[in-house]
Amino acid sequence: MAEPLLSVDKLNVSFATYGRSRQVLRNVSFDVAAGERVALIGETGSGKSVTAKAIIGTLPNNAAISSGTIRFAGQDIMALPKADREALKGTAFSLIMQDPLSSFNPVFKIGTHLDDVMRFADKRNGVRASKAERRIRIEAVLRRVQLADADRVMNAYPSELSGGMRQRVLIGLALLHQPKLLIADEPGTALDVTTQDEILNLINTLVKEENMALLMITHNLGVVRKVADRVVVMHHGDIVETGPCAEILSSPKAAYTQALLEAVPPLYGPRVTNLPQSGRAPIVTIRGLNKIFGKRPGFHAIRDVDLTLREGEIFGLAGESGSGKTSIARIIMELSRATSGTVAIDAPAPGKGRRLTQIVYQNPGTSLNPKRTVKQTLSLPLTSIGMDSERREARMAELLDLVRLPQSYMAKYPHELSGGQKQRVAIARALAAEPKILILDEPTAALDVSVQKTVIELLVQLRQDLGLTYLMISHDLSLMRNFCSRIAVMLRGEIVEEGATPEVFADPKHPYTRALIAAIPVVTDAEELLKPVVTEEERTRFLVKTTA
Amino acid sequence: MADMKMLDASDRGLSSGYMMWYRFSRNPAAVIGSLILISIVILAVFAPWLTPYPKHVGAVVDFRARHLPPDASHWFGTDKAGRDIFSRTVFGLRVSLLLVIGVLGISVPVGTVLGLIAGYFGGWVEKLITGLTNVMLAMPPLVMALAVSNLLEPTLTNAMIAITLLWWTWHARLIYSVSKSIASEDYIEAARLAGAGPLHILFREILPNCMAVISVKTTLDAAFVILFGATLSFLGFGVKPPTPDLGSMVADGRQFMPDFWWEVLCPGAMVFYVTLGFNLLGDGLRDMFDVEN
């Protein structure tokens, strides 16, 4: 067999933090052949990003490669002098970064970013080129990432482009010097599903056309199925399993991979859970709701929305960013006022300091005060309903039991907790003063898929035990398929489709719903086949343009 | 990378105290700065026992011993009245530290509270407080201090009042910007939804998140207050003679430069030492807390 393009052999990396050393990669070995697409998959802390950084040579200062080799085209790149290694960046391998917004300096135009990268690379390689000549090359690259209107893109500031377009420019940046290996660190994760779908298609096309190899780093198994020939599964710094993509996804051998696949909410098929419809009385009734931000003409965030939430149901409000779903939730919470229309909550008035509605935020990292312990966080809502300290203690103990956290966590600060544990604390805080309605604003978007599974199970259990009504806001339709009993799809402030979840997914009426469902990365081929079909015409009508 | 560090620490159950101590002990500036400050506090507090001529603080005149250069019995030499400069310098530290405590003890809490209120409430409260702050910031500090001292009496207390009148504005402005950004965090909204009143939110939710910024700013400020106080007493608006003060000692010695250089340089070096200690500690704390200046 020919020498692989990239060969990582028995790589050990450790981090020194606070005087203690900790191994983050243990004997990581894998190959990427020329033209091959390999996915490195794992959850937070699995070491997938560290592996990529070790290859590119951008490990932080407190990291040390204790043993192992990284060979690129037969050359041991760790033995290379610094300047030679530097020269490999961009030409031998290139990185597509994750966050399309923070990767650009907001005060420079896109053209300046591209030109800088090209100029410095030219300098390094001893190429002399004029600005005009560089521009021709940049335009060629932009055309390849489907940004044909190069003038417009290059004269735009980063904030003037959509997320999808920025991601395309980032890919273009990586392509400037015809690298042989493209390393993609969770591309499109920060974007809407439909945009992410297009970005993945683009990467696939480019890899094929340019005959590049691809090393895709991701936590999403659906993405893996779409862009990888071979999969390397990582867990806590070890490689758990390696194999062809289809094999890993259909018949995984390692228990960890099985559990990971198990945790992915299915879109179609026998594993899908159907929640019973609630036949009880409506608890929230929204009629003719409008919200306009700013003064004339203003931004029309919500347009004539009518919604009814029945008591005890889990109602899903689906939509992409900017569709107005969070604005509706804030109006129900009385955090913002509607421009017109009514929201009626049909429940007896709560006691002093109590609210009918509470919210669980998307990111538990920002919804818990970093300087307050779990106990301090939980005691706040209890104090405001006038509980004395004895009853508070008892109620807090009860709450921790409810969200299945050990009592010893009372004294912990948020930074001592994992993402899932933090979200449990946030749920406990929301439930403390016994609300009737819980608004879940993408409660698991910031969590790993296996953690998501446990948090969702907890939420389902809590609803049963406490008789709560949930309003779930999310863009993750496969999660909503299994978690919501009814669902409404929002597009640009309007509800375009509404109905019982199984029916909406079985036969989506509106083309936008079809496009949304079709864009979800799924794990099995069977599910892929069951997805609704979207015509190109519908796509251009309802989705945000990411090309130019 | 921050995520990774956090995860790493939390995985091993390191306490915040340990992490703080670790970062402190690895930070030479912070360690040296605090050693300097500890030495200064010890000197100031135990001055009567640590100095060879504690009586020289008062109205002692010994013309036989005037203008003696530094030697074994007078480490810093003697001044025009034959008093031991080392003893007077050490006692002078007391005045400096008193000034720091007095000025910062008032201006930091005042500035912090006003900053918190302006940042959290917004609206006309914000406009009023930031407007007032900007007006005060526009006044040259030295002119203001001279005006107050002339209007009242040139004493240490009045110097303190003069400095305090201007100093709170810097804190108000800094805390205002921090408070404003924290006020838009999810956890503040969550606290409001949990029924927290404004006092709870200001002092229990926002204030703890400002502590890093406040401690860095206060430490760095202490150095400036000492310098400013020395400047005022150099100009004759500080403590009354014969009480020793670093600024007025430099002013007194100035007329004998360059022949009796020690009378300027030794108290001057002490000002330098104190300022250095506060600045090093402040810089060290800033690195530890990752506070942007």
pLDDT in tens, A290-302: 888 887 777 888 8
Can you tell me the distance from the alpha carbon of A541 to that of A543, in angstroms, rounded to the nearest whole number? 6
B132 part of a folded domain: yes
**Helices A449-466 and A255-263, axial angle in degrees (round to 10):** 50
Q: Do residues A306 and A328 touch, judged by C-beta distance below 8 A? A: no
Please report residues of B whose CB lies closer than 8 A to that of A380.
191, 194-196, 200
B22 part of a folded domain: no
pLDDT in tens, A368-415: 998 899 999 999 999 988 889 999 999 999 999 999 899 989 988 888
Out of A263, A290, A306, a domain closes at A263
Please indicate if any CB of chain B lies within 8 Å of the CB of A23: no
Interface of B with A in 12-41 (CB under 8 A): 12-14, 16, 18-19, 22-23, 26
Can you tell me the distance from the alpha carbon of A134 to that of A114, in angstroms, rounded to the nearest whole number? 9
Q: Could you tell me if A81 and A34 lie in one domain?
A: yes
CB atoms within 10 A of CB B69: 12
A52 part of a folded domain: yes
Q: Would you list the DSSP string of B107-137? A: HHHHHHHHHHHHHHH-HHHHHHHHHHHHHHH
Interface test with A, best of B8, B187, B192 (most A CBs within 10 A): B187
A272 part of a folded domain: no
B164 part of a folded domain: yes
pLDDT in tens, A479-502: 999 999 999 999 888 999 999 999
pLDDT in tens, B38-97: 999 999 999 888 888 888 887 778 888 888 888 888 888 888 888 888 999 999 898 889
φ, ψ (nearest 5 deg) of residue B241: -65, 150
Interface test with B, best of A382, A416, A442 (most B CBs within 10 A): A416
H/E element, A1: none
The CATH number that applies at residue B195 is 1.10.3720.10
> How many Å lie between the alpha carbon of A57 and the closest alpha carbon of chain B?
15
pLDDT in tens, A105-135: 889 999 998 898 888 878 877 778 888 888 8
pLDDT given at position B7: 41
Residue corresponding to tokens 């604003």: A441
B64 part of a folded domain: no
Strand arrangement, sheet containing A213-218: A93-96, A181-185, A213-218, A37-41, A230-235, A238-244
pLDDT given at position B147: 85
Query: For residue A353, what is the nearest residue in chain B, using CA coordinates?
Result: B195
Q: Look at residues A316, A236, A305, A325 and name the one whose alpha carbon lies nearest to residue A487.
A: A316
Please indicate if any CB of chain B lies within 8 Å of the CB of A126: no
Note whether B12 contacts A367, CB cutoff 8 Å: no
Inter-chain contacts counted by CB atoms under 8 A, chains A and B: 85
Q: Could you tell me if A431 and A473 lie in one domain?
A: yes
Q: 3-state secondary structure string, A486-542?
A: EEEEEECCEEEEEEEHHHHHHCCCCHHHHHHHHHCCCCCHHHHHHCCCCCHHHHHHH
B96 part of a folded domain: yes
pLDDT given at position B13: 56
Note whether B194 contacts A413, CB cutoff 8 Å: no
The CATH number that applies at residue A78 is 3.40.50.300
> How many Å lie between the alpha carbon of A483 and the closest alpha carbon of chain B?
24
What is the SS3 assignment for B280? helix
Please indicate if any CB of chain B lies within 8 Å of the CB of A371: yes
- List the single residue in B193, B197, B204 with the smallest CB-CB distance to A355: B193
Q: Could you tell me if A188 and A332 lie in one domain?
A: no
A276 part of a folded domain: no
Can you tell me the distance from the alpha carbon of A354 to that of A434, in angstroms, rounded to the nearest whole number? 8
Q: Look at residues B253, B250, B243 and name the one whose alpha carbon lies nearest to residue B154.
A: B243
Can you tell me the distance from the alpha carbon of A234 to that of A255, in angstroms, rounded to the nearest whole number? 12
> How many Å lie between the alpha carbon of B20 and the closest alpha carbon of chain A?
9
B13 part of a folded domain: no
Q: Could you tell me if A177 and A316 lie in one domain?
A: no
Q: Do residues B187 and B130 touch, judged by C-beta distance below 8 A? A: no
Residues 6+ apart with CB under 8 A from B21: none
- List the single residue in B6, B197, B205 with the smallest CB-CB distance to A369: B205
Q: Could you tell me if A68 and A181 lie in one domain?
A: yes
Q: Do residues A161 and A191 touch, judged by C-beta distance below 8 A? A: no
Which amino acid is present at B236? G
Task: State the ipTM, two decimals.
Answer: 0.82
The answer to whether residue B19 scores a pLDDT higher than 80 is no
Q: Could you tell me if A320 and A359 lie in one domain?
A: yes
Burial B164-179 (b: 16+ CB within 10 A, else e): bbbbbbbbbbbbbebb
As a whole number, mean pLDDT of residues B133-149 equals 86
Can you tell me the distance from the alpha carbon of A330 to that of A309, in angstroms, rounded to the nearest whole number? 15
Q: Could you tell me if A15 and A155 lie in one domain?
A: yes
Q: Would you list the DSSP string of B130-162? A: HHHHHHHHTS-HHHHHHHHHHHS-SSHHHHHHH
Q: Could you tell me if A107 and A251 lie in one domain?
A: yes
pLDDT given at position A2: 65
Residues 6+ apart with CB under 8 A from A270: none
Task: Show the CA angle centred on residue A309, arms to residues A307 and A312, nearest 5°.
Answer: 170
B270 part of a folded domain: yes
Q: Could you tell me if A74 and A204 lie in one domain?
A: yes
B284 part of a folded domain: yes
With bands split at pLDDT 50, 70 and 90, how would you rate the model's confidence at B121? very high
Can you tell me the distance from the alpha carbon of A261 to that of A221, in angstroms, rounded to the nearest whole number? 7
Can you tell me the distance from the alpha carbon of B165 to that of B134, in angstroms, rounded to the nearest whole number? 13
- List the single residue in A45, A355, A413 with the smallest CB-CB distance to B16: A413
Alpha-carbon distances of A202 from A113, A165, A166, A205, B192, rounded to whole Å: 21, 12, 13, 5, 45
Out of A205, A233, A263, a domain closes at A263
Burial B75-105 (b: 16+ CB within 10 A, else e): bbbbbebbbbbbbbbbbbbbbbbebbebbbe
Domain that holds residue A197: 6-263
Instruction: Pick the more confident residue, A352 or A40.
Output: A40
pLDDT given at position B291: 55
Q: Could you tell me if A488 and A423 lie in one domain?
A: yes
pLDDT given at position A60: 84
A547 part of a folded domain: no
Can you tell me the distance from the alpha carbon of A275 to that of A479, in angstroms, rounded to the nearest whole number? 13
Beta bridge mates, A13? A25, A65
pLDDT in tens, A150-201: 888 889 898 888 888 888 888 888 888 888 899 998 887 777 888 888 888 8
Number of domains forming the structure of chain A: 2
A235 part of a folded domain: yes
Number of domains forming the structure of chain B: 1
Please indicate if any CB of chain A lies within 8 Å of the CB of B259: no
CB atoms within 10 A of CB A217: 25
Q: Could you tell me if A250 and A303 lie in one domain?
A: no
Domain that holds residue B278: 27-48+72-289
With bands split at pLDDT 50, 70 and 90, how would you rate the model's confidence at B293? very low
A204 part of a folded domain: yes
Please indicate if any CB of chain A lies within 8 Å of the CB of B79: no
- Please provide the distance, in angstroms rounded to a whole number, between the alpha carbons at the two ends of chain B: 21
Q: Could you tell me if A253 and A300 lie in one domain?
A: no
